[in-house]
Structure 1
Amino acid sequence: MRKNKILIAFFLSLLVLIGIEFFIYVNYSTITKDVTNISFVVSGDNMDLWENLRTGAETAALDNDCEILFVTSSVEAGAEGEIEAIKRQLKDGADYVVVSSNYHSEVEDYISEMGLEDKVSFLSTGDDDAMNKELVSYILKNSSNSVLLLCNQQDEQLGTLLKDSNIYFKTMSFEDYSFEEDITFKNFDIYAIDNRSEAVYYLDKGMVKALAYRDDYSLGYITVKQVLTGKSFSSIAKQVPLYYVVDKESMYTEKFQKILFPFAK
């Protein structure tokens, strides 16, 4: 009799455990969502250039059950390198790929030929033309000397906007200029188009007179929202300015502190 009671108790306990596991399984299955994998293919070998963009994308991902991956394609690899990076990401399970391309037409042709318009899209740069015009307007109001423009890519529009003025200007990449050692441009007013912490540092030190700053953090955040919702970039970003022209006097105002120092508490 005692053995029967023990067996009955054992089977009842087993049934209870099975019931608990079934309950957990059913409820966990209903609340678990599929994770969306979004890969960003960006040009160049310096991932630091994309730091703010990646952080913005990862912040948006936290709210939307996403996984974000950034991969680089070297400039030397050309359009073929970017296309291979896209292929690799899709093969590895990316649901969507966002491309910052130096070879837009070639990559666009590949996307069209392969019917990947729903899977692969180009990273919007915001309104770079408007940013350039605002920077040039600032230069014309605040400089009468020679001007050195530091930017990662020489922009023909900047030259076009400045050529009719009396200002002599030169352009150079930020990486090629040494603030501590280069005396060639010591009498120039220096402006920069950059959004890295290094550029903000030189603005604070007064070595850069003004900084045209693209808000890549917001750009990354909005891009993830765009991919997930299928809405146009402009419809999501229309209330969010994605560029600023900042000088030392304005950089610590409440408006710009949150933009220039997004990680400061």
Structure 2
Amino acid sequence: MKKSRFLLIAGIILIIILLMMAYYYYSIQGEENKEKVSVSVIVYGEDTERWENLRRGAEQAAEKISDEGTFVEVNLMTTMSERDAQEQIYLIQREIKRGADALIIASCNYVAVKEYFETIDRSIPVIFVESGIGENSDYQFVSADNYKMGYSLGEEILKKEISKVKIAVIEDGTNRDSLLERKRGLQDALQEKISKIVTWKRSKNEENIQTMLFLQRELTEEAVDVVVALDNTSTEAIVSAVQNLNKDVKIYAIANTEMAIYHLDNKTIESMVVQNEFSMGYIAIEQLMKHSEYADEELKNHVTFIAVDKRRLYLKKNQKLLFPFVK
């Protein structure tokens, strides 16, 4: 009796093992039989965490499409410098030669990258995110409306500051068309409403120094009431510079990193405009894979942004954009 029971249990275990092996085998076979698409995401700067929302959005869209029959692989690549267009172009050339099926690019220099693409045949789909290659381009650009983000930040300043304040606008990274549009929107919002606006821009011999050191020099040499940063790098750098020098300066910014949100929470940053980079990555993959067919103007409407300060930071309506991975 005991022997029969043992044989029955052993048989059941064996059947379960065989079923699991069969399931695993056919799952692998199914994956291997799927059409495979490799998407290289080439961004600027070496800080991969800064692009975490974009990457996760792209990967979630890729996972959804993979479940429907086409296996999409997303590979994020960064550069050593935020300013080196030749390094970014080298990565683009390398990925095309390696056989990438599509490219998603955040351009570090809209002039140089546009000139490069004007010299080559379009052999694979290419879409730009966050920073593109200027107007009159044949390539789609997925981003929130940069002009409107700049204008919205200007409105935040006008709500909280008097007209007599002196404002410094950090003009760093202006090889990116996104920053030029943000600055234009900011200027239009503040025009004739703020009496004194200055621009902080690197001199030629400061091109290779850390952004924080460049801003510490500016803070030391020119007294201002407000500093405006238009991207993540400038935002984090001005926060560090102000803290290092113990300056009593208000900071307004366009940014979306965890560090920037932390400094908004502790009121080091007064107000901030944040765009939905998760959605940006998601839509870029959908566009490349033809799972959505948005026109260029529609893309601006589908990537949203919010203006937020300490008081509005934890409002329910802002939570999903600010903390997309917290359930």
Q: Does the aligned pair in 2 maintain the 1:40–1:71 contact within 8 Å?
A: yes
Matched, 1:263 2:325: yes
Q: How does 1:67-82 map to 2 (within 5 A)?
A: 67-75=73-81, 78-82=84-88
- Aligned residue number for residue 193 of structure 2: 165
- Aligned residue number for residue 119 of structure 2: 113
Classify the secondary structure of the residue corresponding to 2:35: coil
Classify the secondary structure of the residue corresponding to 1:250: coil
Classify the secondary structure of the residue corresponding to 1:252: coil
- Aligned residue number for residue 196 of structure 1: 257
CA distance in 2: counterparts of 1:110 and 1:243, whole angstroms: 31
- Aligned residue number for residue 47 of structure 1: 48
Classify the secondary structure of the residue corresponding to 1:262: coil
Q: Give 2:144's aligned amino acid.
A: G
CA distance in 1: counterparts of 2:100 and 2:318, whole angstroms: 35
Classify the secondary structure of the residue corresponding to 1:38: strand
Q: Does the aligned pair in 1 maintain the 2:151–2:188 contact within 8 Å?
A: no
- Aligned residue number for residue 250 of structure 1: 312
1:101-123 deviation per Cα after TM superposition (whole angstroms, max 9, x unaligned)? 12223323332332126433322
Q: Give 2:118's aligned amino acid.
A: S
User: Which protein is bigger by CA-based radius of gyration?
Assistant: 1
Q: How does 1:95-174 map to 2 (within 5 A)?
A: 95-116=101-122, 118-123=124-129, 124-144=142-162, 145-147=165-167, 153=173, 155=179, 156-157=183-184, 158-159=186-187, 161-166=189-194, 168=196, 169-171=226-228, 173-174=234-235
Classify the secondary structure of the residue corresponding to 2:244: coil
1:215-234 deviation per Cα after TM superposition (whole angstroms, max 9, x unaligned)? 11111111111111173464
Q: Does the aligned pair in 2 maintain the 1:53–1:216 contact within 8 Å?
A: yes
CA distance in 2: counterparts of 1:210 and 1:76, whole angstroms: 25
- Aligned residue number for residue 218 of structure 1: 279
Superposed displacement of residue 181, structure 1: 3.0
- Aligned residue number for residue 211 of structure 2: none
Q: Does the aligned pair in 2 maintain the 1:148–1:170 contact within 8 Å?
A: yes
Q: CA, structure 1 residues 51+167, in 2 after alignment: closer, same or farther (shift >3 Å)? A: farther
1:198-253 deviation per Cα after TM superposition (whole angstroms, max 9, x unaligned)? 11111111222211101111111111111111734647646634211111222211
Larger deviation: 54-63 or 112-121?
112-121
Classify the secondary structure of the residue corresponding to 1:223: helix
Matched, 1:183 2:183: no
Q: CA, structure 1 residues 193+30, in 2 after alignment: closer, same or farther (shift >3 Å)? A: closer
Q: CA, structure 1 residues 192+69, in 2 after alignment: closer, same or farther (shift >3 Å)? A: same
CA distance in 2: counterparts of 1:53 and 1:119, whole angstroms: 18
- Aligned residue number for residue 228 of structure 1: 289
Larger deviation: 46-55 or 228-237?
228-237
How many corresponding residue pairs?
243
Task: Report percent identity of matched pairs.
Answer: 29
Q: How does the TM-score come out when normalised to structure 1?
A: 0.78
Q: CA, structure 1 residues 147+105, in 2 after alignment: closer, same or farther (shift >3 Å)? A: closer
Structure 1: any 5+ residue segments left out of the alignment? Answer: 1-20
- Aligned residue number for residue 200 of structure 2: none
Larger deviation: 170-179 or 206-215?
170-179
Superposed displacement of residue 170, structure 1: 3.7
CA root-mean-square deviation? 3.2
Superposed displacement of residue 64, structure 1: 1.3
2:99 to 89, 93, 113: 93
Q: Does the aligned pair in 1 maintain the 2:56–2:281 contact within 8 Å?
A: yes
